């Protein structure tokens, strides 16, 4: 399995690529290409072009959750595919996989909508939409984890704005937040978008689904932005006991949290343009 960082908050020195507060990874496994999140804008497409990556042969698009910094790139991606069809270029019609609540409205105070610009009905017009709250195997070893069970009391406990659940307004605890996991002979790779459900909860779900307790790498956002002492201490204690070989924390993980994490595990910098092979 190979993972390429198409979008993150940071770039890497001597790589002349774009960054923004969003996330997008390209994952390749068993001859299949999976786009995990689409960042905030069209910059992930521009980065892919600069790196010689053709997104028109993507097999599946996976959305970690419905916030705009992970779904905003869907609109320019639709434009890319529409133009390819108009010009008669070879392209696939990818499946789009997400939680059933990923494309409902999400807003914060003053009616600021932070959810996807494309709703479910429009997405169905462009992609083969697959909504699932349960795990979905993408290849033999790569799995979409579905809705994450929240089994601890220190993360995934605080709502962000409001949403619509069962046709009623409700506090948004980001039930749609999910992640991917990849099984290797040495242990699991955990691939996250924002980890609103809690990175420890996500890892425990990956262990249950793939029946493997060893974790060798975690890459993605850890949702540690000015976290409470309880959340940070709980996460640090968990990671210290887990002892993955590496943690590639990026996107929604602040500097103070990264410094704290680096004291208990092997923290490695992430930025646009990096490629990882597992």
What whole-number distance in Å separates Cα of residue 29 and Cα of residue 127? Answer: 21
Question: 111 falls in which pLDDT band (50, 70, 90)?
Answer: confident
Q: Which domain holds residue 222?
A: 2-277
Other beta carbons within 10 angstroms of residue 78's beta carbon come to 16
Closest CA to 108 of 41, 158, 177: 158
**What's the burial of 172, exposed, middle or buried (CB within 10 Å: 0-12/13-18/19+)?**
buried
Render pLDDT for 75-100 as a digit per residue (tens, 0 to 9).
999 999 999 999 999 999 999 999 99
Do the Cβ atoms of 104 and 164 come closer than 8 Å? yes
What is the structure's pLDDT at 61? Answer: 98
pLDDT band at 109 (very low <50, low <70, confident <90, very high): confident
Residue 185 sits in a domain whose CATH number is 3.60.15.10
Tell me: the pLDDT tens digits for 140-168? Answer: 999 999 999 999 999 999 999 999 888 88
Q: Per-residue confidence at 110, pLDDT binned at 50, 70, 90?
A: confident
Is the CA virtual torsion 114, 119, 122, 128 positive or negative?
Answer: positive
pLDDT in tens, 198-224: 999 999 999 999 999 999 999 999 999
Over range 104-123, report the average pLDDT.
90
- Does this model's pTM top 0.85? My answer is yes
Is 90 exceeded by the pLDDT of residue 242? yes
pLDDT for 114-135, tens place per residue?
A: 999 999 999 999 999 999 999 9
- Tally of domains within the chain: 1
């Amino acid at each position: 399995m190979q993972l390429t960082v198409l979008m993150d908050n940071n770039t890497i020195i001597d790589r002349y690529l774009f960054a923004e507060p969003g996330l997008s990874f390209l994952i390749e496994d068993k001859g299949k290409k999976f786009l995990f999140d689409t960042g905030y804008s069209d910059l992930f497409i521009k980065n892919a072009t600069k790196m010689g990556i053709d997104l028109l042969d993507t097999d599946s698009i996976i959305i970690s959750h419905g916030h705009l910094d992970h779904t905003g790139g869907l609109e320019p991606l639709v434009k890319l595919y529409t133009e390819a069809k108009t010009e008669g270029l070879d392209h696939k019609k990818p499946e789009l996989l997400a939680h059933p609540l990923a494309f409902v409205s999400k807003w914060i105070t003053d009616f600021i909508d932070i959810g996807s610009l494309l709703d479910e009905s429009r997405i169905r017009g462009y992609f083969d939409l697959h909504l699932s709250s349960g795990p979905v195997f993408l290849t033999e070893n790569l799995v979409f984890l579905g809705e994450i069970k929240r089994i601890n009391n220190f993360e995934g406990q605080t709502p962000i704005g409001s949403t619509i659940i069962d046709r009623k307004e409700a506090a948004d605890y980001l039930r749609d937040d999910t992640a991917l996991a990849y099984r290797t002979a040495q242990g699991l790779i955990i691939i996250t978008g924002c980890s609103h459900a809690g990175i420890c909860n996500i890892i425990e779900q990956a262990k249950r689904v793939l029946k493997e307790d060893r974790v060798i790498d975690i890459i993605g956002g850890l949702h540690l932005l000015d976290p409470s002492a309880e959340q940070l201490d709980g996460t640090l204690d968990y990671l210290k006991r887990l002892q993955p070989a590496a943690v590639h924390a990026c996107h929604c993980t602040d500097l103070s949290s990264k410094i704290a994490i680096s004291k208990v595990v092997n923290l490695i910098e992430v930025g646009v343009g990096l490629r990882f092979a597992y």
